Each structure stands twice: as C-alpha cells, then as structure tokens.
C-alpha cells in the first residue's frame, strides 16, 4: 500500500522486525536519502518492502552486547550464506514508485512548463510563474551570503578544480602497424542536467560536486534543477556555486517533474543529453525510466540508494575517531548503512563508551540511533579478511583511520571513495578535500566509479591509414570479412588494394 502526497521529499523509515514491510516517511528537506535538517517537516508516509536481518543471524552474533542494539559478528565464524546476508542492502521496491512517477513524466512530456509549474505547486507548495520558473545565473547579481560561507565555498571550489583539472586527458595516439595510426579524443557532452536537492535543505556542496567537472569538461549548456525555497527564490548558496561553475540555467523545480523537464526539454528548459546528481527514490526512478525511453534519449550518471560507510579499524585506530566517522554517516538518516570491521587490538571498550558519549551529544540522535541499531560490527582476524569483506560489500565510503593505512591501499578493489589515515574523516570528502562526493551506493562500486570529468565527456576513436597502412592491415581484414560472410566489408578493402596494385603497374 502506498499513500503519496509529494514526490520531492526524502524517505526515512523504521523497520519492523517481524514484518516484510517498513513504515517510511517523506520529509520536506528533499535530501538525497540523507536527512540533514532537524527543522524539516513531515510530508507523508507509506509502507515499502525492505530487506531485513534474517532470523538465522541471531545465533551467529557475538554474545557481548553493544549500545543501541548494534549487532556484532566474527567473520571467520560465519557460514557463506550468513555472510552473504550481511552483505545485503535494504531492498527498495520501485514498482509502486514507478507507477507514481510515470504519469508525472507523461504530463511534463505533453504539457511542458505548465505541468512543471503545477507539480511544483502541488508538491513543494510554491506557486511560480513562467517568468520565475527558469533563471539565468549570468543575469543575476552575487547573492547575499556570509563571508565565512563564501570563503568556505571558494576553498572547496578551488580544491575541486585542482583535483578535477588533473583528470583531463590529452589525445591518445598509437601507430598500431606501419601506416595505421589510431587515436582517441575527448569531447564534452554538450548539454547536461545537474539535479541538486534542495527545498528547506541547503546543499551547495552538491552543486559544486556536479558543476565543477561539468565546467572543466567544457559542457556548453549546464542546467541545474533544484527545488525553490518557500518564497519561490533559489537558495543563495546554490546560486553562488552555480555562478562560479558557469551554469547557464537554473530550473526551480525538484522531483520527477524536474528530471522530466531536463530529459524532454520544454519551451523554457533546454533538453539535455545526460542527467547527473543524487535524489530520493522518485528522482532515481525518473532517471532510470527516462534513460530507457527512446524519445527522451538521455543518459544518467549512476543508480542511487541510501548513503553508506564501512570503516576498518585496527590496533592503531582511535576509538573516538572511529565512532565520529560512523555517527557522521548515521546522522544522515534512519536508512543510512553503517558497518565497522575491527581487527585484533582495537579498543572495543573505549568504542562502546565513545558511542554512548558522542551519540548523546548529537542534536539528531533520534535518527542516528535508528541507523546505528541496524548497523554492524564485524570482527576480522587480520587485514586480508577485513579487506575481503569490504571489497565484497563495495561501500560508497571506505574509512581507514589507521596509522598503517598505506598498507591497506593495494588490497582495496571496490569502493566509491576512500579516506586514509586518522585525520581523513568522510566529511572532508563530502565538502572540500577536492574529491567528488557523488558516489555509487548499494554495492554499485563494483562496477561504477564516482562522478568525475569523465562523467561529462565522451571519447571518440579515430584511425588514419596511408597506402602502406591499408596494404599492411587490409589482407587480414579481407580474411576476417570472409569468415563472417560480409562481402561488402571485404570489398571496401579489396577495391582499395586493387586500386593500389593498378597504380603500381
């Protein structure tokens, strides 16, 4: 059963241990599976199928208790089937979501800007007009924000530019045979859409994380979609970031309707070729549905899910640092995924004390407690076992607050972003170190990387052959074309080889 009022909100829920559904809430902050504002209001609620801990795991847990019902296991004692269950993420059933999103996409496709205005009024409770729906940052003045915020954004911007600029690749060129030169050049995706969650939440960091690589890639049209504030204006911090990143248009809309407007294009919103950025399940569903629709003809960055962190702690790791990392993830929301893998020598007693102490001092402890109660502490016998589990889990964020962190690096295979050493909390990557915080979740780090300059470019291969080149490679092409019985393919080579033979006589 699904009861829905607005599809711009974020989803958070409590898991019932005895049922296959959980009660979830949509909050007004519209954060990408990360509840960030204690002042946000409840939009609506519904039930959703979600995976939960199997009963069989109870007997496999370590007997000593942890605060907040946090569960712990010894990896070497687990059967393969139980270990596999620990690797599972909450299972979200998108079928109900898609049935809600589908008519929204259809309405925007048929009615354009008018549909976007109507859905913005319905879901965000903000009434805009055709004159205020789309903004041009270049025509707007510098927004009024505090100097400290402006300075922080400037530092984050500069670090992001330095790191992402280094990702730009020069043309690759190789002579594979005498007279056969192959090359690869990069070209920007011309028109891109960047989804920046907003509403009552302020998420300028997402605007930077998406805007900087798009700018450096050379995209000619950069459109940001972000929900309007309650007064119909754009978040000033997001506007400041947009101006720094050369954003050409800002669409004051969120949810599936904003994604649809960028995918199809409207009278006011340019049609884009690729849509990037995090969002709630309605945004994710819209992106997934539109990438498979021929008329929209739009690509997306990656699938999205609840944010997650895995932390590996050894005998050199400080318990207070480890707890602070775990809680920084847990406070995002009740659906946050938090896993600690601890090695022999790590101070578990100090860990327990710090968990209680730091939790009680959190303004958002009601959310963090729920996330921690569903989290895991896994005891590994050594570094290899810890890394093996981490690679199988493929976390969005991998924290290794160890003084021996460099000894782990070669063993890391699957992770969105890695935070090495005692003084590299996840927070620095979320905001200002220079790496990108738009990362694969839900185990997709096995086959996806995070957003980078490469996200906003495509590669074109070229080959140039002279007379020697076609004579060297041509006969081999003729043989392979014969094998595949493609006469015209063979003839395209043969006609050139025969022409050269005749000219040489």
Q: Is 397 a catalytic residue?
A: yes
What is the C-alpha separation between 357 and 375, in angstroms, rounded? 18
What is the C-alpha separation between 254 and 31, in angstroms, rounded? 11
**Which one from 237, 331, 396, 426 is the annotated catalytic residue?**
396
Q: Where in the chain is the domain with CATH 3.40.50.1980?
A: 55-88+305-446, 95-167+188-301
Report the C-alpha dihedral over residues 108, 113, 119, 122, rounded to 10 degrees: -150
The H or E element containing residue 471 is helix 467-483
Q: How far is CA 370 from CA 120, 183, 269, 270, 364, in A?
A: 31, 53, 40, 42, 11
For residue 474, how far is the Cα from the chain centroid?
45
The architecture CATH gives domain 95-167+188-301: 3-Layer(aba) Sandwich (3.40)
Non-local (6+) Cβ contacts of 172 within 8 A are 183, 184
Query: What's the pTM value of the predicted model, to 2 decimals?
Result: 0.87
DSSP sequence for 57-120: GGGGB-SS--GGG-EEEEGGGS-HHHHHHHTPPP---HHHHHHHHHHHHHHHHHHTHHHHHHHH
Tell me what pLDDT residue 200 has: 60
pLDDT tens digit at each of 505 positions of the chain: 233 333 333 333 333 333 333 334 334 344 433 444 434 433 333 333 333 444 345 445 554 589 999 999 999 999 999 999 999 987 777 889 999 999 999 999 999 999 999 999 999 999 999 999 999 999 999 999 999 999 999 999 999 999 999 999 999 999 999 999 999 999 999 999 999 998 666 899 999 999 999 999 999 999 999 999 999 999 999 999 999 999 999 999 999 999 999 999 999 999 999 999 999 889 999 999 999 999 999 999 998 888 899 999 999 999 999 999 999 999 887 888 899 999 999 999 999 999 999 999 999 888 899 999 999 999 999 999 999 999 999 999 999 999 999 999 999 999 999 999 999 999 999 999 999 999 999 999 999 999 999 999 999 999 999 999 999 999 999 999 999 999 999 999 999 999 999 998 8
Task: Provide the phi-psi class of 444: left if phi over 0, else alpha when psi is between -120 and 50, else beta.
Answer: alpha
For the chain, how many helices (H) and strands (E)? 16, 18
Burial of 320 (0-12, 13-18, 19+ CB in 10 A): middle
Tell me what pLDDT residue 261 has: 99
Tell me what pLDDT residue 422 has: 99
DSSP sequence for 274-315: EEE----HHHHHHHHHHHT-TTT--EES------EEEEEE-T
**Which one from 27, 164, 332, 397 is the annotated catalytic residue?**
397
Determine the 3-state secondary structure of 143 from DSSP: coil
CATH number for region 55-88+305-446 = 3.40.50.1980
Tell me what pLDDT residue 167 has: 98
Tell me what pLDDT residue 57 has: 52
Tell me what pLDDT residue 34 has: 43
The H or E element containing residue 27 is strand 21-27
Closest CA to 355 of 344, 333, 340: 340
Tell me what pLDDT residue 250 has: 99
Q: How many CB atoms lie within 10 A of CB 55?
A: 9
Q: How many CB atoms lie within 10 A of CB 319?
A: 20
Tell me what pLDDT residue 49 has: 38
What count of residues does the chain have?
A: 505
Contact 40, 20 (CB under 8 A): no
What is the C-alpha separation between 436 and 99, in angstroms, rounded? 33
Report the C-alpha dihedral over residues 348, 353, 356, 362, rounded to 10 degrees: -100
Q: Is 170 a catalytic residue?
A: no
Tell me what pLDDT residue 62 has: 56
Q: How would you label 281-311 residue by residue, b for 16+ Cβ within 10 Å and e otherwise?
A: bbbbbbbbbbeeeeebebbbbbebbbbbbbb
Q: How far is CA 351 from CA 63, 205, 372, in A?
A: 16, 31, 13
Tell me what pLDDT residue 372 has: 94
Per the structure block, which two tokens stand in for 434?
A: 């220079």
Tell me what pLDDT residue 333 has: 79
Per the structure block, which two tokens stand in for 369?
A: 């407690």
Contact 225, 259 (CB under 8 A): yes
């Amino acid at each position: 059963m699904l009861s829905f009022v607005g599809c711009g909100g974020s989803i958070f829920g409590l898991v019932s241990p005895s049922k296959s559904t959980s009660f979830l809430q949509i909050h007004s902050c519209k954060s990408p599976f990360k509840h960030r504002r204690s002042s946000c209001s409840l939009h609506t609620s519904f039930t959703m199928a979600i995976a939960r801990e199997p009963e069989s795991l109870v007997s496999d847990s370590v007997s000593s208790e942890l605060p907040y019902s946090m569960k712990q296991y010894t990896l070497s004692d687990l059967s393969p089937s139980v270990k596999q269950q620990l690797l599972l993420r909450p299972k979200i059933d998108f079928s109900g979501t898609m049935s809600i999103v589908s008519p929204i996409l259809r309405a925007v496709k048929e009615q354009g800007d008018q549909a976007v205005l109507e859905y913005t009024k319905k879901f965000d409770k903000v009434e805009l007009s055709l004159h205020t729906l789309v903004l041009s940052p270049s025509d707007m003045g510098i927004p009024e924000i505090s100097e400290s915020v402006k300075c922080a954004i400037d530092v984050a911007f500069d670090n992001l530019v330095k790191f992402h600029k280094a990702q730009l690749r020069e043309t690759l060129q190789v002579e594979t045979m005498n007279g056969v030169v192959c090359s690869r050049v990069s070209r920007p995706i011309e028109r891109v859409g960047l989804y920046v969650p907003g509403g009552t939440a302020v998420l300028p960091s997402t605007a930077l994380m998406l805007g900087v690589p798009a700018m450096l890639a050379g995209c000619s049209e950069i459109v940001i979609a972000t929900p309007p504030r309650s007064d119909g204006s754009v978040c000033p911090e997001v506007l400041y970031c947009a101006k720094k990143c050369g954003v050409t248009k800002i669409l004051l809309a969120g949810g599936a309707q904003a994604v649809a407007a960028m995918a199809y294009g409207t009278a006011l919103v340019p049609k884009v070729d690729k849509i990037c950025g995090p969002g709630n399940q309605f945004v994710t569903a819209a992106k997934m549905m539109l990438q498979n629709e021929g008329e929209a003809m739009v690509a997306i960055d990656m699938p999205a899910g609840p944010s997650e962190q895995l932390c590996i702690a050894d005998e050199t790791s400080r318990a207070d640092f480890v707890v602070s990392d775990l809680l920084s993830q847990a406070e995002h929301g009740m659906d946050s995924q938090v896993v600690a893998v601890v090695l022999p020598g790590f101070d578990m007693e100090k860990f327990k004390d710090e968990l209680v102490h730091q939790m009680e001092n959190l303004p958002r402890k009601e959310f963090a407690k729920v996330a921690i109660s569903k989290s895991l502490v896994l005891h590994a016998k050594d570094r290899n076992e810890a890394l093996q589990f981490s690679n199988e889990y493929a976390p969005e964020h991998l924290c290794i607050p160890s003084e021996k962190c460099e000894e782990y690096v070669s063993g890391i295979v699957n992770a969105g972003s890695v935070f090495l050493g005692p003084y590299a909390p996840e927070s620095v990557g979320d905001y200002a170190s220079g790496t990108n915080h738009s990362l694969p979740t839900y185990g997709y780090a096995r086959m996806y990387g995070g957003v980078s300059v490469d996200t906003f470019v495509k590669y074109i291969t070229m080959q140039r052959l002279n007379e020697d080149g076609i004579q060297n490679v041509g006969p081999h092409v003729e043989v392979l074309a014969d094998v595949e019985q493609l006469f015209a393919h063979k003839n395209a080579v043969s006609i050139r080889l025969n022409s050269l033979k005749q000219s040489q006589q």
